[in-house]
Every structure is written in C-alpha cells, then in structure tokens.
Amino acid sequence: MDPKERRSRATEGFFGRRHGKTIRPQQAAALESGLGAYGLDLSADAPAELRTLFAADVSTVRLEIGFGGGEHLLHRATEAPAAGFIGVEPFVNGMAKLMMAVREKPLANLRVHNDDATRLLDWLPQASLDGIDLLYPDPWPKKKHWKRRFVSPLNLDRFARVLRPGGKFRFASDIDTYVNWTLLHCRAHGALLWQAEDAADWHRPYEGWPGTRYEAKAIREGRRPAYLTFVRK
C-alpha cells in the first residue's frame, strides 16, 4: 500500500503518528521485503484456524498491539517457537526496525499488520486468540483526549470476541490515570476478570519480562509501572 494512502486514510482506533525520521534505504528494503513475507492480507478471509497463518507448527496464537521497536515481541517469539505471534504497529519506523531484525534472524512463528489494530481485531475469527498484549500504549494524558485511548468499551468488546475462554489480556503502563481507566473499564465490561492476589501483584513484572526502552525511561523519571492481567470468562 502506498504510504500516502495509509497516511490519509481515516481510522477508528489509531490517532498517533505513522512516520518519524525518514528511514534509510536499507530499512526501506527490509520493510518492503519483510511485509511481503510476514504481513497479513486482510482483504482475504481469515482462516478458521489461525495457526495455519504461520510457517511454524504452533499450538497457541498471541497478539501484541503497538509493539514499538519490537523488543518485547522479538523476545517472546524467540523464546516460545511453538507459539504464534501477531504484531501490530502502524508506526513505519517501528515496523522497519522489526523487519530489519527478522531479516537477520527470521522467525517462522511471526506475522505482522502495519495498520489500525481495530481492523485486524474485526478480521480475526471469534475465540481465536490465546492472549492480547497492550504494553505502554499512548496514554493520551489530557482529559479531552481520553476518548482516544485504545482501552474503550468497543475495543474491550473486540477483545472479548477474539479471546478464547481463559485467554489473557495483559496491559502495562506507567501512567496512573490510564491504569485506573483500564481497571474501571474492564470491571464495567464484565467479560474480563482482573487477576490479582495481593496489592503487590500489579507492580510485579510478568514472568520472563524483558523490559522495554520506554519502561526504562519511565523508571528513570520516577514513574512506577503497573502490569495488569485480565482473564476472559
């Protein structure tokens, strides 16, 4: 798809930038070839069994929305070759960084989507995912912009539709208002149950958590991250 077309297209769930610094020719080449190999074609019907999307023989499928530079996604996909991972990132520079990495070390259990995540969620079959990660999403800190936050009643409906019973929605943020917002919205929704056994649970990183550059910056600046896990009823 032509970059100008993607920039001009109105989307429901994406309000951020699509482009940052101009990518280098090497990155552009990796992006073009990588999307050809790993990109999902949403113009075709989704397969009834998502595991068939992957070259690897996978037993579970997880989705990461807004993977940034791809550090966490690469870590998870590398450490769990028997799981399939779908990564969504509309920001061209982030997708180019990931495609550069998989050009050096290909991953047979990875697919990507480089546009609005709501389109992918609507494309996916019902109860087809084992997990969804939304890690350090744009907090839209100004109250007038809170309606732009990805966690919303409509998107939680989408999560509930595509998650299998027992599937997990994981949310990490260093912004207290967004953490509270997510807790309140998930509680009101009812299909996603917060998993917390004690007061320290939501400040304890996920098992095997590699950390992210954004998280390291937040900690340096004195903000304490929260890690929430919700289970689909």
User: What is the set of active-site residues?
Assistant: 138
What CA dihedral angle connects 62, 68, 73 and 74, to 10 degrees?
150
Residue linked to tokens 């920039």: 7
In angstroms, the CA 65 to CA 117 distance is: 7
In angstroms, the CA 95 to CA 69 distance is: 7
CB 78 within 8 A of CB 107: yes
